[in-house]
Chains A and B, each alone.
Chain A
Amino acid sequence: MHAVETLNLSKKYGKTDALRGLNFEVEEGEIMVILGPNGSGKTTLLMILCTILKPTSGIAKVVGIDVAKEGTKVREVMGIAFQEARGFWRHKPSSILRFHASMFDIDPTKRQDLIDQTMKDLELWESRDKLFMHLSGGQAKRLETAKVLVQRPKLAIFDEPTSQVDLRGKRKIWDKIKELRNQGSTIIVATNEVREAEYLADRVTILHQGQRVVCDTIPHLKDAIAGGDVVEVDFEDPVSARLSEELKSLGGSVALSPQGNQMRAMVSRAEDWVPKMTSASYNQGAKISSIKITEPSLDDVFMQFTGTTLEDKP
């Protein structure tokens, strides 16, 4: 049995298709990262899984329970940290966490210790008695994560867990999410941050325009794109059209910057391609100022499979 499974899942808002026949599975105990730009359907999928939205058609199951038919049972086993940490304006973080823990029947004898420890871990301890409305965006976001950490659900869902959080805070939240997985939870993280996905993911599902484009481990995704290396070359001057054509004929996927003096190529073997490129450039009189060889990033993977970048609108 999958921890999460959707079959032909669709959601329409009026005439807009947010999800279009999505098939998606998450295995028990893994961290599945859903990667996609804003508007790709990530949040809609999560809202359906936690029974807040109803699917227009198709099936979604959490630990084998149909979200449309047995919503209350699904909510018993899952917890969600929302993208927007809003509401509870006049409650304090400590009281919000106590309420959340009591709603999910966390052992009363351990509840307070667990809450205190989580607040300390996420650096909310100093703010525990501030009103929610006086928290910073980052603190409110950390509180959202803290609710799920205190709850320790079978399925934990994090919707862009580190947006508005500083770099140090991001690392803390990521480590706590991994710790939660190690304690036995299945995790889904929706994000459009490549670094977050690379740090957390056991597998990545790329979502684009409400459909699953691909799902695999990060190494497999990177292997699947054309070429295994990324070569970034800076020229002193914009390259000529003739050189550009010649470089493109060397193989791989070559793209020039709009200014014409930067080139990014995804090639099979950089050690074979680079000498050919430098030789062609020398023959055409183009001066190279730097060459950088790297592995493809998830952004490259996203670009390869969708034709757009994560920053682009859908």
Chain B
Amino acid sequence: MNRVLTLAAYNIKLLLSERNWFFLIWALFALQITIFGSLMSRLVSGKVEDYLFFYSIGLMVITVFDSGASVGRNFVEHAHEGELPYYLSLPISRRGFLAAQALYGVADTMLKTLPPLLGILFFMGRLTVLGAFFAVLALLLLGLGISGIMISMSFIAFKSVDIYSAFIAGLSALLVRFSTVFYPLIFMPNFYSPISLLSPLTYGADLARWFLGFDPQLLLNPILAAAVVTAVAVGTLSLSARIVDRIIEGVKVG
């Protein structure tokens, strides 16, 4: 366990050296909320009460999604920049290696989302310790699930990085668009809502909103959402552990 933490800390240390990148992400987040969020909020006013808050949490979910996806990309980059063979030669199990990657993902997600989330909750007068704690927990579970999906897909990159990049771009577009990050499920057309129920982002977004006190009439059942988010995290991380253990090799040489 100590070695898993050491490995995670080593990568997180590198993450912390990218302070400017985090400031940029937070600034973009603020810009998106103040311009697009407030404009869209006016457009839909009357139909969804406090749409700006709904939108803000949706944007947060997208940030979590990006962060989870970056863990998968990071994993693939390790392989192609030659770090993966080194990591695979270290005295930790493959599952331990994956756990270290997941911890790195958690740290990345926290750094990207926690300050803006607390900021939004504070400015919108919805900051409660319990609400924020459980919302962050829901977002982290979602982030782990996304990381698991992306790492599971990384075996494609060992055949072709181009195919992996195209596949992930397509998958990301579908998971984000067909979800409730920006529109409540009950306002979606009939052809749209069943597809949105396939996206883990739908469950993560609605669960986080429920914990933060958004109108439950516009959200999925929180027990169902919590169950799905947990199942996705556990399922995809187990799958990625199996893939790292059984399929992925560090290098191919003659």
The contact string, 1 if C-beta is below 8 Å from chain A, for chain B 90-134, is 111110000000000000000000000000000000000000000
Set of chain B residues within 8 Å of A84, measured between Cβ atoms:
82
Say if the beta carbon of A80 comes within 8 Å of chain B: yes
Contact B91 A103 (CB under 8 A): yes
- In the assembled complex, which residues on chain A have CB atoms less than 8 Å from the CB atom of B10? 99
- Tell me, in angstroms, the Cα distance from A13 to B90 when the chains sit together: 24
Q: How many residues does chain A have at the interface if contact means C-beta atoms less than 8 Å apart?
A: 34
A residues near B86, Cβ cutoff 8 Å:
82, 87
B78 contacts A87, CB within 8 Å?
yes
CB-based contact B81/A103 at 8 Å:
no
Q: How far is the CA of A72 from the CA of B93 in the complex (A)?
A: 5
Quick check: B254 and A52 within 8 Å, CB to CB? no
A89 to B11, CA, bound (A): 12
- Contact between B91 and A104 (Cβ–Cβ < 8 Å)? yes
Are B89 and A75 in contact, CB atoms less than 8 angstroms apart? yes
Contact, CB under 8 Å: B82 / A52: no
Q: Which of B164-172, B207-215, B225-233, B244-252 contacts A (4 or more CB under 8 A)?
A: B244-252
Cα A84 to Cα B81 with chains together (Å): 10
Tell me if B88 is interfacial: C-beta within 8 Å of chain A: yes
Q: Is residue B14 within 8 Å, beta carbon to beta carbon, of the partner chain? A: yes
Q: A43-B253, A47-B251, A91-B14 are in contact. Are A52 and B85 (CB under 8 A)?
A: yes
Flag if B250 contacts A52 (CB, 8 Å): yes
Tell me whether A87 and B254 are in contact in the complex, defined as CB-CB below 8 angstroms, given that A72-B93, A99-B10, A104-B91 are known contacts.
no
Q: Chain A: residues with CB nearer than 8 A to chain B?
A: 13, 16, 18, 38-39, 41, 43-44, 47, 50-54, 71-72, 75-76, 78-80, 82, 84, 86-91, 95, 99, 102-104
19 residue pairs of the A-B complex, CB under 8 angstroms, read A43-B253, A47-B85, A47-B249, A51-B89, A52-B88, A52-B249, A54-B249, A71-B94, A72-B92, A76-B91, A78-B89, A86-B81, A87-B86, A88-B83, A90-B14, A90-B17, A99-B6, A103-B3, A103-B6
Residues of B bordering A, CB below 8 Å: 3, 6-7, 10, 13-14, 17, 78, 81-83, 85-86, 88-94, 249-254
